[in-house]
A and B are shown apart, each in its own frame.
Chain A
C-alpha cells in the first residue's frame, strides 16, 4: 500500500470506534498489523463501524448496500455517495482500458432479490426493471416458455454488454439453443460479457465466449468493497489496486507466488471503513507475472470458499474449495469438459450426489472416476459419491446464485 493510502487508512482507524477498540493496546503502524474483521463484526458491531464524523448524518445523505447473502449471512455496508461512485470508477477505468466499455454503454442483467427491511424476499416483485443504461429481467420468470416475452424488449433495448452470473448466462444460452435463437439476432450490438458472483470455470468462459462471439471477463468482487480483481482479455485477474488493498493470511509460498486467505481493505469507504475484512476466499498472488494490458499484481482466485464445509460421513468433511480443486484438476486433465457441478447431501438418507454437467458427451466414466478419486483423497476415506450427469443448466439457490454444495432433505426435488 502506498504512503498516501496508508495515511488515509490510519486516519480512518483512529476515527472509528470499532478499530480504536481493536487496537486499544497497541499502535498499528500499517494496515497489516490490524486484527481481522469478519462478517459477524459487520452484523453485530454495525454502529461502531461508522466513522466518528459520519455518525450523525441523516439517512438521506448516504447509501446502504446489502450483500447477496451467498454465505448465508446478509450484511449491510454504508457508503457516502461520492466514495461509492469513485470506488466504482476504479473498475470503470479497467473496463474502458480492456474492453472499451464506458458507463453510458447499455447493458442487460438479471435480478432475483428484493429486500423487505433486512429480510430477503424470494421472488422480486417486478418482472422487468429499466433505466437509461440497464435492462434487468427477473431470473425466475425467464424460461423456455416465456423467452418470447422478453426477446422484443432485449432487441429494442439493444444492449452492448451483459452483466450477470455464470449460471444465469449458461441458463440463457440453453434457452436460446432450445428455441433456435441466434445470439447475433437477439444481441446484435453486444461486444462484451462480464460475469461475477460465482466461480467461473475456464470451460464456462470458453463456451460462453464461443456462443456469443465476444470476450468474457470475470469480475471478482464483494458487495462490501466493490471490485477486487478484474480479468483482462488475456485472462489475467488484475487486482484493482486503486480500489482495495489485499492482504493474505494463513499463507504459504509457492514457486511463483504466495497462496493465502484474503483480507481486503477498502481504499474509499470513509463512512463505514472496511479494513482487513476476511472474505473467506483463498487466492494466489503471483510474484513476477506481467501482462501487456496492465501493470500491477495478478491473482488467481482459488475457487470455492475455505470456510464452507460439508459433512461427507465417516467423521469427515470437505470444503467447497476442496471440491472446486478436484473439478479444476479434472478439467485440466480432460480439456475442460465440466461446465457446472454441485454436490448435494441428502439429509434423510445421508447420501451424497455429485451433479455434473459437461459440455461434451464423451469420457463421462473417466471424468466421474477422476473427480471422485480426488475427493476421496481429500477426505482420506472411502466415501461413496453418486455421480449424476445432467444436460440441463443447474438450479440456482434462493439468492439467484449457484451454490457448489448444499444439504437438502430430498435430492429428487432438485
Chain B
C-alpha cells in the first residue's frame, strides 16, 4: 500500500469523524487536530479504533501517543511504519 493511498483513506476516515464540525476536507492536510479542531481523548480513541479496523492493524502500545495522531502527516507516517513492519 503506498503512502498516498494511506493518506487518501485516512482523509476519508477523519472527514467522517469530524463531519459535524463543518470543516473543509481540503484543509485537513494543513490542520493540527488538537489545536485547530479540538481533538480530545474521545476523538483520539475514535481515530485509533477506525484506522485499526480499516487497515486491519493494531497500533502498538508505544505508538499510542497523541503526538502520532495530531496531524495527517503524523498519522500517515505512523500507519506506514506499522504496515511496513507487518509486511
Q: Which residues of chain B have C-beta atoms less than 8 A from A132's C-beta?
A: 42
A143 within 8 A of B: no
Residues of B within 8 A of A (CB): 17, 41-46, 48-50, 52-53, 58, 61, 64
A388 within 8 A of B: no
Contacts A92-B49, A96-B49: A103 and B42 contacting too (C-beta < 8 A)?
yes
A89 within 8 A of B: yes
CA distance A355 to B82 in the complex (A): 56
The stretch of A27-35, A36-44, A80-88 that contacts the partner chain: A80-88
Interface residues of A in 330-372 (CB under 8 A from B): none
A177 within 8 A of B: no
CA distance A85 to B48 in the complex (A): 12
A210 within 8 A of B: no
A102 within 8 A of B: yes
Tell me if B53 and A96 are in contact (CB < 8 A). Answer: yes
The A contact surface, by secondary structure, is helix
Residues of A within 8 A of B (CB): 81, 85-86, 88-89, 92-93, 96-97, 102-104, 132-133
Q: State which of A85, A86, A88, A97 has its C-beta within 8 Å of the C-beta of B53.
A: A97
Supply 18 further A-B pairs (C-beta < 8 A) apart from A92-B45, A92-B49, A96-B49.
A81-B41, A85-B45, A86-B64, A88-B45, A89-B48, A89-B64, A93-B49, A93-B52, A93-B58, A96-B50, A97-B53, A102-B50, A103-B43, A103-B46, A103-B49, A104-B43, A104-B46, A133-B42
Q: Which residues of chain A have C-beta atoms less than 8 A from B43's C-beta?
A: 103-104
CA distance A102 to B52 in the complex (A): 12
CA distance A102 to B41 in the complex (A): 13
Q: Which residues of chain A have C-beta atoms less than 8 A from B52's C-beta?
A: 93, 96
In the complex, which residue of chain A has the Cβ closest to the Cβ of B61?
A86
In the complex, which residue of chain A has the Cβ closest to the Cβ of B41?
A85
A-B contact pairs, 14 of them (CB 8 A): A85-B41, A86-B61, A86-B64, A88-B45, A92-B49, A93-B49, A96-B49, A97-B53, A102-B46, A102-B49, A103-B43, A104-B17, A104-B43, A133-B42
CA distance A104 to B49 in the complex (A): 11
CA distance A96 to B49 in the complex (A): 7
Q: Which residues of chain B have C-beta atoms less than 8 A from A86's C-beta?
A: 61, 64
Q: Which residues of chain A have C-beta atoms less than 8 A from B41's C-beta?
A: 81, 85
CA distance A224 to B82 in the complex (A): 32
